[in-house]
Amino acid sequence: MKSFVRMSYPYILWIGIFVVAPMIMILLYAFTRGGNSTLTIHFTLENFGRFFSDPDFMRVLWTSLRIAFITTVVCILIGYPAALFIANLPERRQTLMILLITLPMWINMLLKTYAWRGILLNFDDMSSEIKVFIGMVYDFLPYMIIQIHTAIAKLDRELLTASYDLGADKWKSFLKVTLPLSIPGIISGVTLVFLPAVSSFVIPKLLGGGNYVLIGTLIENYFLVAGDWNFGSAISLIMALIIIAAMYFTRKIDRAAEEE
Amino acid sequence: MKQKRSWSFFTSGYLILVLLFIYLPILYLILFSFNDSKSMISFSGFSLRWYESLFTNRSMLQSIWTTVEVAVIATVVSTVIGTVAAIGLSKARRILRTIVLEVNNLPVLNPDIVTAIGLMLLFLSLKVRRSIVTLTLAHISFCIPYVILSILPKLRQLDDNVAEAAMDLGANPFQALTKVILPQIAPAIFSGALIAFSMSFDDFVISYFTAGMDVQNISMYVYSMKRFNPAVNALSALIVVAVAFILILANLVPYLKDKKNKKEE
C-alpha cells in the first residue's frame, strides 16, 4: 500500500508549477519596479505607496468593500428565512426545493448577468449602483441559502421539542436554539459571498456601465489595458490580504459563537 | 389552527418569491430568445430567427466549440490527475498530506482574479504564447483541486483491509487499485468530473487572463460583445435546456436504481 504514495508525486510537481510559482510571481511583481530584468531585481514598496496615497484608489477600495458588505447582508436577510422555511418542509419537498435552487447555479454566470442587463433596461432611471447590487445579490443568494439550510437541517429537532416543553414559545425557541446553532452556516455563507463579491469585476462591468469601477476592474485594467503588471500585482496582493483578514475575523466570530 | 395555516401560506409565498427571483433572468432570456425583433424590452412576436442566426454566426459557434473542447480535455485530464493524486495522498504521511492539501486549497479559496493573474504572469515570464494550450492548462489546474476535494473524503472512508486482502490473495498493487479501490470510489470520481466540467464550462475570469487575444470561449465572447445580440439568448436557452436535462438525469438515475434495488430485494 505504501507504494501508492508515489502516485501523488506528479501532482506535487504540478502544484509546484501551477499553484506555488504563480503566487511567487505575483509577490515578485508586486515588490519590484517595471522594466528591470531578472538579473537586476530592485525591490521597492512604491507600488503600495502609490495605491494608498491616491484618494481615487482608496475610493475604489472603499466602494468594493461597501458593495460586498451590503450584498452579503442582503443575502443573509433574504436567504435566512428562505433556508429556514425550506428546512421546515417535508423531506421530499425539501430535496426538490434545494434542487430548484441549485439548478441555476450550473448555468453560466455571464449569460445570467446578460439576461439581467436586458431586464434592467426596463428600468431606465435606476442608478448603476442598484443594478450592480441586484446582479450581485442574484449571483450569490443561492450559495447563502444552501449553506444556511445545511446548518439548520443538521440541527437536532429534539432540541426544539425540549425548548417548547420548557415553555418557550416559537419565537423564543428560534432566537435561543435555531439561530445560535445556525451561525456556522451563516459564516460559511459569508465566506462564499463576501470574498468573491469583493473581487468581482464582471457584474459591475456588465450592469454598472463603463464608469463603475471596483477593485477587480482596476486589476483588470492594469493587467490587460495599461500593461502595468507590477502595480496590478500590488493591487491584487492588497485585495488578497484584505480577504485573508476578513476570513480570519469571520473564523474568530465563528469560534466565539461556538464557545457560547 | 387558523394562525398556523396563514403562517404556512406566508412561508410558501416567500419561497415562491425567492424562486421567481432566481428564475426570472432564465425565463426572461428564454422568452426573448423567441422574440422576432432585436429588442430586449418589448416582445413583438414569436420567431426562431435568433436560433437561425446563432447557427450561422461563425465566431459564436467557434466560441462554443472552444468552450466544449477545453471543458472536455480539462475534465478528462484533471479527473485522471486528481484521482491518482487523491489515492496517493490518502496513503501519504499526515504531514505531507496536510501540506499538499493546504496548497491544493489555494485556488479554491483565492479569488479567481488572483489565480488568473498568477497564471498569466507565469505564462508570460516563461515566454509561452497565450493560446488554447495555456487556456487548457489553466483550466486543468483550477479543476484538479475540486476533483481531489470530492474524492479524498470517500477514499478515507474506505476500509484499507479490503485492498490488503486482495493483495494477500495474490492481486498485484495495480489489480488492487483497478479492481478494488477504483470501483468503490467511482461515484465520487464521477461527481468530481461533473464539477470539473461545469467549472471549466462556466469559467470566465481565469480564461480571460490566460487565453490571449485569438481564443475565446462563450463567456469571453459574451463579455467582449460590443452591441446587444439576442442570439446570445438563444444560446443561453439551449444551455439551460441541456443543463436541466443533465441534472434531472443525474438526480433521477440514482433514484431509479434505488427503486429497482428495493424491488429486487
Q: What is the ipTM of this complex?
A: 0.86
| Pairwise CA distance, residues A167 & A155, whole Å | 20
Q: Where do the H-state alpha helices sit in A201-228?
A: 202-208, 215-220
Decide if pLDDT at A37 tops 70: no
C-alpha dist (Å) from residue A42 to A33, A198, B12, B39, B249: 7, 31, 63, 55, 57
Q: Are B114 and A199 in contact (CB under 8 A)?
A: yes
Confidence of residue A19 (pLDDT cuts 50, 70, 90): very high
Q: Which residues contact B219 (CB under 8 A, 6 or more apart)?
A: A108, A109, A110, B67, B202, B203, B204, B207, B208
**Residues in chain B where the model's pLDDT stays below 50:** none
The CATH code of the domain that includes A104 is 1.10.3720.10
Tell me the CB-side half-sphere exposure of residue B8, using CA atoms within 13 A: 8
Q: Are A42 and A32 in contact (CB under 8 A)?
A: yes
- Nearest Cα of chain B lies from the Cα of A154 at a distance, in angstroms, of 19
Q: Which residues contact B44 (CB under 8 A, 6 or more apart)?
A: B35, B36, B37
**DSSP states along B192-224:** HHHHHHHHHHH--HHHHHHS-SS---HHHHHHH
Chain A residues inside the 8 Å CB shell of B236: 107-108, 111-112, 114-115
Q: Give the pLDDT confidence score for residue B128 in this predicted structure.
A: 84
User: Which of B30, B77, B113 is the best residue to mutate to test the A interface, defined by the most A CB atoms within 10 Å of its own CB?
Assistant: B113
Q: Give the range among A43-47, A74-78, B187-191 with minimum mean pLDDT.
A: A43-47
Q: What is the mean pLDDT of chain A?
A: 86
| Pairwise CA distance, residues B201 & B214, whole Å | 18
| Pairwise CA distance, residues A177 & A88, whole Å | 15
Identify whether A42 is part of a domain: no
Q: Give the pLDDT confidence score for residue B193 in this predicted structure.
A: 93
- Host domain of residue A88: 59-259
Backbone φ, ψ for residue A109 (5° rounding): -60, -35
| Pairwise CA distance, residues B165 & B167, whole Å | 5
Q: Give the pLDDT confidence score for residue B39 in this predicted structure.
A: 77
| Pairwise CA distance, residues B151 & B113, whole Å | 26
Q: Is B244 on the interface with A (CB under 8 A)?
A: yes
Q: Is A138 on the interface with B (CB under 8 A)?
A: yes
> B13: part of which helix (H) or strand (E)?
helix B2-33
Q: Give the pLDDT confidence score for residue A159 in this predicted structure.
A: 79
Q: Give the pLDDT confidence score for residue B139 in this predicted structure.
A: 95
Find, in chain B, the residue whose alpha carbon is nearest to that of A82. Answer: B15
Chain A residues inside the 8 Å CB shell of B92: 5, 8
Residues 67-86, chain B: which have Cβ within 8 Å of A?
81-82, 84-85
The mean per-residue pLDDT over the stretch A48-69 comes to 90
Q: Is B133 on the interface with A (CB under 8 A)?
A: no
Q: Which residues contact B14 (CB under 8 A, 6 or more apart)?
A: A81, A82, A85
| Pairwise CA distance, residues B265 & B52, whole Å | 51
Q: Give the pLDDT confidence score for residue B231 in this predicted structure.
A: 87
B144 with A86: Cβ contact below 8 A = no
Identify whether A10 is part of a domain: no
Q: Give the pLDDT confidence score for residue A40 in this predicted structure.
A: 63
A152-178 pLDDT, tens digit per residue, is 988 877 777 888 788 777 788 888 888
Nearest to A220 by CA among A212, A65, A20, A109: A212
- Nearest Cα of chain B lies from the Cα of A259 at a distance, in angstroms, of 26
Q: Are A70 and A134 in contact (CB under 8 A)?
A: no
B106 with A23: Cβ contact below 8 A = yes
What's the number of domains chain A is made of?
1
Q: Give the pLDDT confidence score for residue B264 in this predicted structure.
A: 64
Determine what percent of chain B falls in helix, strand and coil, rounding each to the nearest 5: 80, 0, 20
| Pairwise CA distance, residues B145 & B86, whole Å | 10
The beta strand positions in A163-225, using DSSP E, are none
Confidence of residue A21 (pLDDT cuts 50, 70, 90): very high
Determine what percent of chain A falls in helix, strand and coil, rounding each to the nearest 5: 80, 0, 20
Q: Give the pLDDT confidence score for residue A36 in this predicted structure.
A: 54
Chain B residues inside the 8 Å CB shell of A11: 81-82, 84-85, 88-89, 100, 144
Nearest to A52 by CA among A201, A236, A238: A238
Q: Is B212 on the interface with A (CB under 8 A)?
A: no
| Pairwise CA distance, residues B89 & B155, whole Å | 10
Q: Give the pLDDT confidence score for residue A2 in this predicted structure.
A: 64
Torsion of CA B173, B175, B178, B180, to 10 degrees: -90
Confidence of residue A33 (pLDDT cuts 50, 70, 90): confident
A1 with B91: Cβ contact below 8 A = yes
The mean per-residue pLDDT over the stretch A127-144 comes to 93
Identify whether A1 is part of a domain: no
Query: Which position has the higher pLDDT, A123 or B77?
Result: B77
Q: Give the pLDDT confidence score for residue B113 in this predicted structure.
A: 92
Q: Give the pLDDT confidence score for residue B263 in this predicted structure.
A: 65
A119, A202, A232 ranked by CB distance to B25: nearest: A119
Residues 97-116, chain B: which have Cβ within 8 Å of A?
100, 103-104, 106-107, 109-115
C-alpha dist (Å) from residue B66 to A196, B71, B73, B117, B229: 26, 8, 11, 21, 20
B11 with A195: Cβ contact below 8 A = no
| Pairwise CA distance, residues A191 & A185, whole Å | 10
A198-252 pLDDT, tens digit per residue, is 988 889 888 887 778 889 989 998 888 888 888 999 999 999 888 888 888 887 8
Identify whether A11 is part of a domain: no
Query: Which position has the higher pLDDT, A259 or B179?
Result: B179
Nearest to B153 by CA among B81, B74, B97, B103: B97
Identify whether A220 is part of a domain: yes
Q: Give the pLDDT confidence score for residue A260 in this predicted structure.
A: 62
User: Which of A3, A6, A9, A11 is the best residue to mutate to test the B interface, defined by the most B CB atoms within 10 Å of its own CB?
Assistant: A11
Identify whether A163 is part of a domain: yes
**DSSP states along A55-86:** HHHHHHHHHHHHHHHHHHHHHHHHHHHHHHHH
Identify whether A104 is part of a domain: yes
Residues 187-206, chain A: which have Cβ within 8 Å of B?
195-196, 198-199, 201-202, 205-206
Identify whether A30 is part of a domain: no
Q: Is A116 on the interface with B (CB under 8 A)?
A: yes
B218 with A233: Cβ contact below 8 A = no
Q: Is B29 on the interface with A (CB under 8 A)?
A: yes
Q: Give the pLDDT confidence score for residue A184 in this predicted structure.
A: 86
Residues 44-63, chain B: which have Cβ within 8 Å of A?
none
Give chain B's largest Cα–Cα span.
Answer: 73
Find, in chain B, the residue whose alpha carbon is nearest to that of A20. Answer: B103
CA B254 to chain centre: 20
Which architecture does CATH list for B58-264?
A: Orthogonal Bundle (1.10)
